[in-house]
Each structure stands twice: as structure tokens, then as C-alpha cells.
Structure 1
Amino acid sequence: MSYKHPFTRHKTREVMIGNRIIGGNNPILVQSMTTPDTHFVDEVIKQIHALEEAGCELIRVTVPKAEDAHALGEIRKKIGIPLICDIHFDYKMALQAMDHPIDKIRINPGNIGGYDRYRQVLRKAKDKGLPIRIGVNAGSLEKELVEKYGFPCPPAMVESALRYLEIAESEGVKNIIVSLKSSDVLTAVEAYRMFAKQADYPTHIGITEAGKPPYAVTKSACGLAPLLLDGIGDTIRISLLGDPVPEIQAAFDILQATQRRVRKPELIACPTCGRLEIDLEGIIAQVEKRLEGKTTPIKISILGCIVNGPGEAREADLGIAAGKGKGVIFKRGEIVRHVLESEMVDALLEEVEKWEIEEAQSGNLLVEKGLGTLDKKFALPVIR
């Protein structure tokens, strides 16, 4: 059986966004952003539906023009996830957007136009009961902070966030999410870590302008994994050039790899070498296909030789250690079956079904509405 890591999570306050809750010990939500101009309503709705189908849980649209603000109501009526409005430069667009049925406003301290305009946005958000994301970005940091520190470094980013939080609190606004993004991985990671030591507001984590896949996914993973393993982050977005739909799977894969949110089986396989004595790729392909749609957080190991096979299989919930056209199936660390290569896939899937039934009967499976099936062993205690 696999080692149960003593996971912890940074304590943050809860913020309601539409019908979702960010922060506290709630699941880390995956979000994305649309690419068409927001006033192209049909295109935007079509893209959001594709993102919803992929598992997106929050969606952001940009609102640079009045015609974009006027489109918000029609968009909101036809989607099933909270709608976030992204505002840059013109604070009046934030005020106008809040006259429509939206769920959250995102503003950038570096270009909102000064404290007085920011206060106007805060007051209207408070009147409307809307949460705000203070979205600090290294590429658009306030000029005075860049001059003070010499460049957009983590301390400058954190100072910007804390300054705008203080103003929000003075206006009685506390439903706030904070992001401190940079296209530089080290800058972003350090900024989030510094902020987490000084505030308990939930954070939206991501590496901005990560670029084109597949490198952008790797870059995002390098930035987000350290934060997630530190217990930092309450919602994430993977920023990819082009179609945003692949962002969703990438985000869930990072959450799964860090065991912060496990919503499907994890399949482990060796990279193959000269010791391989079965059709491992064929077996893996069949198992992957038959596991499609399953949300059970089970770890399955399929190894094709006797060197690491038995040990790896014992560490998984279910595993096959194979060689010379046959193998053994391990379950919770114990051998339960001997099978021929031709029987491996069917036998393994039979054991998966049995495992699910046994875990459910013993109370070890927890179903969270709308979030799939999460194993209790992945529940994360909060750092007090």
C-alpha cells in the first residue's frame, strides 16, 4: 500500500463565488478564461460549454467595452458555472459590469487608475454583494513600487497586494481573493509564499503568460506544484496559448499529481526496457480506455518485469507484476490472483470493481456533490 503523506493546507477564509466556495478546506477549484471578444455572445457561450464539459468550475471573461458588459446577462443565463469579469484600465467598466448578473470582479492594482477609483469599485461590489480578486501582476505593477524596489520583485508584489487589501478592509470589503502572478516561476512562487505568511485571504495561483503547450504546461506545473505541496492555493488556472479547453485537464493533472484533488484513477506503468516480456503498451491502452469516466481515486500499477514490478505493485492499491506472458495481481499489498497475459485486463478491471465496492462498504469513499468521488485519505487538514 502507498504511504499516506501528512498533507496540510494553509488556512484561508472562505469566499462565496456564485454557487461555489473558494478557500477554507474546500476543494481547489479549476478555472479558465474565454478567448473571443465577450460581446460575441454565441462564441463565448459555446466555448464556456466546452470548458464546462472538460470540468471547468469558474470562468472569466474580459470586459474592456460597454458592449461586452451588455453581453454579460445573456452569457450568465446560459452557463452553469460562476461568471467572473476581468477589468483592466477602466474602472468604469467594473462599475458597469456590476449592473449585470455576474459572480465576481477581478481588478489589477497596477492599472485600475488610483485609490479613489478603486474605492468606487469596492463600494459598489459591497453594495452588490460581489467578491473581488485583487490580481497583482509583475508585468503591470504600480510604477512607484517598481521605482522603490528597482524591478517587479516578490516583495513589491506582496506590498501591492497588502496595500489594496488594507484599503478594501477600510471599506468593509472582506470577500476577496488575491493573486500574485508572474511569467517567471521563481518570482511567482516566492511572492505567493511571502503573502501566505502575512494574510489569510484565499489565493488564485497560476503562472501568467506561460506560453505554448507542451512547454507551458511543464512551466505551470513547476510553479504550481511547490505551492500546492506547501498547502498554498485555493483556485488555479493554467494559462495556455490558444484554445483554453486543454487548460482544464492540465490543471486537474497537476492537482492529481500533487494529491491535492484526486478525481480519477492513477495509472502507473514502467517506461519499458529490454527486460519487458509482455505487451505492456497494449495492456495499458486497454486499461485506460476501460477506466474512462471513472472518478474513483485508486492507484493502479502495471509493471512489465520482475525487477521493480512486485515492489511497485505492492505500493499501489491494485497492481500487476508481469513477466514471460503471465503475472500476479496485488491488492492492498497482497497477491490475490495469478493470471495469464491474455487475462490481465479483464482480471484487473474485475478487481477494480471489487475494490470500489469494498471501499464504499467500509466507508472509505466520500462523494462530494458536483466534484466526483474523493477518497477520505486525501482530505487535507488545515494549518491553524
Structure 2
Amino acid sequence: MTRQIRVGGVPVGGGAPVSIQSMTNTRTDDVDATLSQIRALATAGCDIVRVAVPDQAAAHAVGKIKERSPLPVVVDIHFDYRLALEAIAAGADKVRINPGNIGSEDRVKAVADACRQRNIPIRIGVNGGSLEKDILAKYGKVCPEAMVESAFGHIRLLNRFDFDDICVSLKSSSVPTTMKAYQLMSLKSDYPLHIGVTEAGTVRMGTLKSAIGIGGLLALGIGDTMRVSLSADPVQEVMAARDILKAAGIRREGAELVSCPTCGRTRIDLISLAGEVEERLKAVDKPITVAVMGCVVNGPGEASAADCGIAGGQGEGLLFKKGQIVKKVPQDQLVDELFALIDTL
């Protein structure tokens, strides 16, 4: 088990539930627009939000955002340690930074001291696309070992100034590289891990890559907090993250649909049927599993692990509960009967 840090009121690591993060894409110095997006993210199920701090105007805005934000606020800093100091003083809940790229050791010490005094953790964000030149020269390419070595270099730098309230990320746009880097890191340290596949892409492919990379790591017991990085509205990142947590069996919320892929035995429009059930299940907040099956072969028996379900036939279908047939139902009444049964669960 990893050690635990706290990001505002959200525990990360140490057995705490895996938290969902996203990042605003508004100009941070546009306080109202940024807060509007943060509220939308919170409504969608985000636990922690990150804002970019590229300049003094953004740094000045952090305090105003923090005062009204429903979520803990992480500031994203590159190169200019003064921006980190100002954001820390304004009340940031966490700092995302690479200690090695903000200049001399006295600057690193200043940031570490400021964070320590306010009990603010630092995320060391290693990115495969921006590894140090000497590490790239050593390994000859971006690889998991190079990423992990970079992370430990940053850790040692912070440790030198008596700072160890650390979270680590090791992100690459390559799913295999990302997964191997996190696996290697998890074997070598107990720092909490922020997991994600960076620059994953647009909604469809980005979600698929993230589901493989993030979901695969979660299935191995690796990962304490996560972000799905998509070229899309940040709310889409949160929705994808929630789906990944459900698919990996990490978080149980709402209803889950299982349905068969159809075959030549199917005598009903199973695709439309499953779509209708899926849409109506969005309004069901019970932690149940509902099955939509195409025929009696793949019906009550094969879907016996489901809490309830329907199996199609010729003009009629079966309504079942925990694998046991409840009754036969005319095809045009299957969905309504299914939801009547769900109401009784």
C-alpha cells in the first residue's frame, strides 16, 4: 500500500478511494469562466481540479478561485518558481511541478519550504516527452526505466530540502510505456501514484487508450488518483474516468448493463433493445447489474450473475431475476416489465 497525502480534504493513497482529477481549459485569469468550469466538473463527479499557472495574471487569480471552488485546487507550474510561491501563498491545495526545471537549488528549496509550511503536497510530473537530456542520452530513447530514473532524481532533489509529501506521475502517450513505468515505480517506492496516459487523443481513441492503460493499472492494484487526458470538454474526461473505474471494478455506482453481442439465433432487435435499456438506466442509481440477452441460450443461465434481465425470443421474451425466470412477456412490453421489476429491487 502506498503512503497517503491530502489534497485539500481529499485523501490520496494509503487505501483511500481512487480519486478523479481533471484540468480546466479556460484562461485561469478569467476567474468566472474557470469557476464555472470547475462547478461543472464537480457536478460530473470530479474530486480534484488542476489549473494552469503560466503567468502572473494566472497566479493572481488562484486565491479568488480557491475561495469559491467546490473542489481542491492544484496549480500547474513550469519553469518559474515565483509563480509557485505566489500560488502557494494564495492557498493552492497541491503543486504540480518538476523540481528540476525551475532553476537553481535555492529556488527548489524555496518552493519546498513554502509547501512544507502549509502542508501542501507536490506532484512530481514526469512526462516521456520532456525527459532530461542526460537521461535520454543514457538510455537512448524514452523508456520506462528512463522515466522512473527521472522521477527519483526529482524526489532526491526535494528530499535534500527535507520535503517528502510527494505524489508521482509517469505519463507517456504510449500505453505500454506508461504501464511499464508505473509498474516499475510501484515496485521501487510507496509514493502515491497519479496515473494517466498523456495526450491520449480525442474522445473515442483517447478513452480507449486510457481504458487500457489506466484500467489495466487499476486492475493490477496500481494507482491512487487518475486523470483521463482528452482533447475534449474536461467534463468528458470525468465521465470517462467514472466509466473506467466501473469497468475495472474499482467503483460501484449506478446500474451496470451487460448484453450479448447478438448472433444468428437472435430473433429480436437486440441492438435497439439494449440501447433503450441503457438510456433508461441512466436514471437508476441503484448498484445493480441488468442483463439484455438475445435468446434463451444466452439468457437467464448465462446472465445469472445479473440482478435481473430480459432475454429475447420470437415475438416474446423472458423476464428473469438472479437467473430464475419470472415470466414470459410480449416483446413490446419487455423493457417496461424490466423496469417495473427494477423498481422492486
Shared fold by TM > 0.5?
Answer: yes
* Structure 1 partner of 2:108: 118
* Structure 2 partner of 1:65: 55
Out of 137, 143, 156, the residue aligned to residue 147 of structure 1 is: 137
Percent pairwise identity: 48
TM-score (normalizing by structure 1): 0.85
Letter in 1 for 2:163: V
- Deviation, structure 1 residue 307: 3.0
Residues 197 and 82 of structure 1: is their aligned pair in 2 closer, same or farther, counting only changes over 3 Å?
Answer: same
Q: Tell me the distance in 2 between the aligned counterparts of 1:194 and 1:227.
A: 12
Q: Describe how 1:239-258 pairs up with structure 2 within 5 A.
A: 239-258=229-248
- Deviation, structure 1 residue 79: 2.0
Q: Describe how 1:274-289 pairs up with structure 2 within 5 A.
A: 274-289=264-279
User: Residues 203 and 236 of structure 2 are in contact (CA less than 8 Å); yes or no, is this contact kept in structure 1?
Assistant: no
- Deviation, structure 1 residue 109: 4.2
* Structure 2 partner of 1:136: 126
**Matched residue of 2:254: which SS?**
coil
Q: Tell me the distance in 1 between the aligned counterparts of 2:200 and 2:104.
A: 28
Q: Tell me the distance in 2 between the aligned counterparts of 1:348 and 1:110.
A: 58
User: Residues 111 and 140 of structure 1 are in contact (CA less than 8 Å); yes or no, is this contact kept in structure 2?
Assistant: no
Letter in 2 for 1:171: F
**Matched residue of 1:71: which SS?**
helix
* Structure 2 partner of 1:166: 156
- Deviation, structure 1 residue 282: 4.2
2:27 counterpart of 1:32: no
Residues 114 and 320 of structure 1: is their aligned pair in 2 closer, same or farther, counting only changes over 3 Å?
Answer: farther
User: Residues 100 and 154 of structure 2 are in contact (CA less than 8 Å); yes or no, is this contact kept in structure 1?
Assistant: no
Structure 2 residues without counterparts, runs of 5 or longer: none
Q: Describe how 1:1-384 pairs up with structure 2 within 5 A.
A: 11-355=1-345
- Deviation, structure 1 residue 159: 1.4
- Deviation, structure 1 residue 110: 5.0
Q: Which has the higher mean CA deviation after the structures are superposed, 107-116 or 237-246?
A: 107-116
- Deviation, structure 1 residue 249: 1.0
Letter in 1 for 2:138: K
Residues 114 and 274 of structure 1: is their aligned pair in 2 closer, same or farther, counting only changes over 3 Å?
Answer: farther
Deviations 1:282-325 (A, max 9, x none): 43344333322433221111112233223332132222222112
Q: Tell me the distance in 2 between the aligned counterparts of 1:308 and 1:114.
A: 65
- Deviation, structure 1 residue 60: 0.4
Structure 1 residues without counterparts, runs of 5 or longer: 1-10, 356-384
Q: Tell me the distance in 2 between the aligned counterparts of 1:261 and 1:116.
A: 43
Deviations 1:156-211 (A, max 9, x none): 21112123223334433332211001111111111100000011111110111112
Deviations 1:228-273 (A, max 9, x none): 1110011111111132121111111111111111212111223334
- Deviation, structure 1 residue 96: 1.3
Q: Tell me the distance in 1 between the aligned counterparts of 2:308 and 2:144.
A: 44
- Deviation, structure 1 residue 57: 1.2
User: Residues 313 and 330 of structure 1 are in contact (CA less than 8 Å); yes or no, is this contact kept in structure 2?
Assistant: no
**Matched residue of 1:214: which SS?**
helix
User: Residues 303 and 321 of structure 1 are in contact (CA less than 8 Å); yes or no, is this contact kept in structure 2?
Assistant: yes
User: Residues 136 and 157 of structure 1 are in contact (CA less than 8 Å); yes or no, is this contact kept in structure 2?
Assistant: yes
- Deviation, structure 1 residue 89: 1.1
Q: Which has the higher mean CA deviation after the structures are superposed, 85-94 or 170-179?
A: 170-179
- List 4+ stretches of structure 1 deviating above 6 A: none
